[in-house]
Amino acid sequence: MMGEALLSASTAFQPRVSIEQVEEGTDLAPRFDVRGLLTVVTTDAESGDVMMVGVMNAEALARTIETREAHYWSRSRQCLWRKGATSGLIQHVIEMRIDDDQDAVWLRVRTAGTGANCHVGYRSCFYRRVDLPADEVISASAAELVFCEAHKTFDPLVVYGDVPNPTQL
């Protein structure tokens, strides 16, 4: 069944027949990498802040278009997932763009609930920055992270319970 869904999703898009079609045409003809994935950058529709970066396979892209709710491919779990299926923090797609050679997608979303997008509990998955002091040279091994978000918007233990953490070491 899963293979059938992937097959039908991948054939839902136009075949890539020319550079002109891909770069200047109106056909959606995405180029998935050798693993069958394309990169997705997800931003908040109002603020423009980057919420997360993920990947989609053909089925995730097709389901996102059909439902207008963000679906991704989880590389850590090796399965399709609808953002917010467990947490309720569903990403409602306001706009979807594709880049010039159709191998990357940009989603502008409104996130339900607290508006958080990160499984750690923060609003954005980019809740820390690399400290780059202007007046000193530092090595990569000495780089430190600084928190950009002062607090979490939800407690992951309460929301996810015993669902395995997707972060891999």
pLDDT attached to residue 11: 62
* DSSP secondary structure of the chain: -HHHHHHHHHTTSPP---HHHHHHSS-------TTS-EEEEEEETTT--EEEEEEE-HHHHHHHHHHSB-EEEETTTTEEEETTTTTS--EEEEEEEE-TTSSEEEEEEEESTT----TTSSSSS--EEE---TTS---GGG--EEESSSS-SS-HHHHHTTSPP----
Q: What pTM value is reported for the model?
A: 0.85
Average pLDDT over residues 40-58: 97
Q: Higher pLDDT residue, 1 or 93?
A: 93
